[in-house]
C-alpha cells in the first residue's frame, strides 16, 4: 500500500443501467427472478458500489500485486431504478485500519437517492490469495 492510501479518497462513478443488470437477469435460470420487474437489481447495485470503491483506491495500491476484495456490505436499497436510467455511485474512504478499508457509499438515479451505507474491503496480495485458493481446491 502506498502512503497516499488515506481517508478522504473519493470516487464518483456513473453507469447507465442496461436490461442485463435488472432483476430478471440476476439469475436467469431462476423463474422467481425472471418474472420480477426490470429494475436495477440489488446484487448488481452492490457490484457497482464495489467497482467505485476499487476505482477510488487502485491508484493508491501497488497494483496489480495488491488488490482489494469486498468483505462486508451494509447498504439500504431505497428506491427502484428502471433500465435506461443512469446511476451515479459516490464513495469515500473513511477509515484505513491496517489492511481493512471502510467506505461510505451512496447511489443516485437522477431522480432520488437509491442506496446508502457502508462497505468494507480488505487489501490482499494477489499471489498469496491465489495460493490459498489453490490449497482450498486441493482439499
Mean pLDDT of the chain: 97
pLDDT tens digit sequence for 83-138: 999 999 999 999 999 999 999 999 999 999 999 999 999 999 999 999 999 999 99
Point out the catalytic residue in the list 38, 42, 104, 108: 42
With a CB cutoff of 8 Å and minimum separation 6, the contacts of 137 are: none
Point out the catalytic residue in the list 22, 60, 66, 77: 77
Contact 75, 82 (CB under 8 A): no
Give CA separation, 89 vs 47, 48, 69, 84, 85, in Å: 11, 7, 18, 16, 13
Residue 119, classed as helix, strand or coil, is: strand
Point out the catalytic residue in the list 50, 66, 92, 106: 50
For the chain, domain boundaries: 10-138
The number of residues making up the chain comes to: 139
Q: What is the pLDDT of residue 129?
A: 97
Q: What is the CATH number of domain 10-138?
A: 3.10.129.10
Specify whether 50 is catalytic: yes
Specify whether 42 is catalytic: yes
| Burial degree of 124 (CB within 10 A; 0-12, 13-18, 19+) | middle
Specify whether 77 is catalytic: yes
Amino acid at each position: 500500500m502506498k502512503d497516499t492510501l488515506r481517508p478522504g479518497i473519493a470516487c464518483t462513478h456513473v453507469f447507465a443501467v442496461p436490461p442485463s443488470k435488472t432483476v430478471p437477469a440476476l439469475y436467469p435460470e431462476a423463474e422467481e427472478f425472471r418474472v420480477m420487474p426490470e429494475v436495477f437489481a440489488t446484487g448488481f447495485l452492490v457490484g457497482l458500489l464495489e467497482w467505485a470503491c476499487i476505482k477510488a483506491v487502485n491508484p493508491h495500491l501497488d497494483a496489480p500485486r495488491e488488490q482489494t476484495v469486498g468483505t462486508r456490505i451494509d447498504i439500504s436499497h431505497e428506491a427502484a431504478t428502471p433500465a435506461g436510467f443512469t446511476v451515479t455511485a459516490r464513495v469515500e474512504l473513511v477509515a484505513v485500519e491496517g489492511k481493512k478499508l471502510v467506505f461510505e457509499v451512496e447511489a443516485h438515479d437522477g431522480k432520488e437517492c437509491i442506496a446508502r451505507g457502508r462497505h468494507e474491503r480488505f487489501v490482499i496480495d494477489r499471489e498469496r490469495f491465489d495460493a490459498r485458493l489453490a490449497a482450498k481446491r486441493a482439499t
